[in-house]
Amino acid sequence: MNSRELHSIEPKTPEIVFAKEYWTGDSRDGHVVNGDGYHYYQITKTGKILDAYEYYEREDGTSVVSPLPEMLNIDWIEDLGFEDLEVLDFIDESEYDSIKEQMATVNS
């Protein structure tokens, strides 16, 4: 992650950014085997995960969003062993918020 990428995103505070990570394999909820999707993170610039969700689409096109409570307060660098945040795709807060809204819609 370079400083230009960090400064191009409008975070809630200067220390928080929003990112997504592509995944392949089985979904956390067990409904998708050998599938793919994204993990969405609200994360500090130093790597602490503040909020996290898993997103994927079923074969019928239905979107599924699940919380990832096990990722809360995990440090991307210290706990997960990454050197930096380079593997993450930084996104606008609005994209992150749309994932959270989908989660709220599913649970209401």
**Whole-structure pTM over 0.85, yes or no?**
no
Query: CB within 8 A of 38, min separation 6: which ones?
Result: 20, 21, 22, 23, 54, 55, 56
CB half-sphere exposure, 65, CA atoms < 13 A? 16
How is the chain split into domains, by residue range? 3-107
- What pLDDT, on a 0 to 100 scale, did the predictor assign at position 107? 54
* Cβ 27 vs Cβ 37: under 8 Å: yes
- What pLDDT, on a 0 to 100 scale, did the predictor assign at position 29? 75
Nearest residue to 68 via CA among 38, 35, 44:
38
- What pLDDT, on a 0 to 100 scale, did the predictor assign at position 24? 85
Q: Report, as ranges of residue numbers, the positions in the chain whose pLDDT lies below 50.
A: 1-4, 7-11
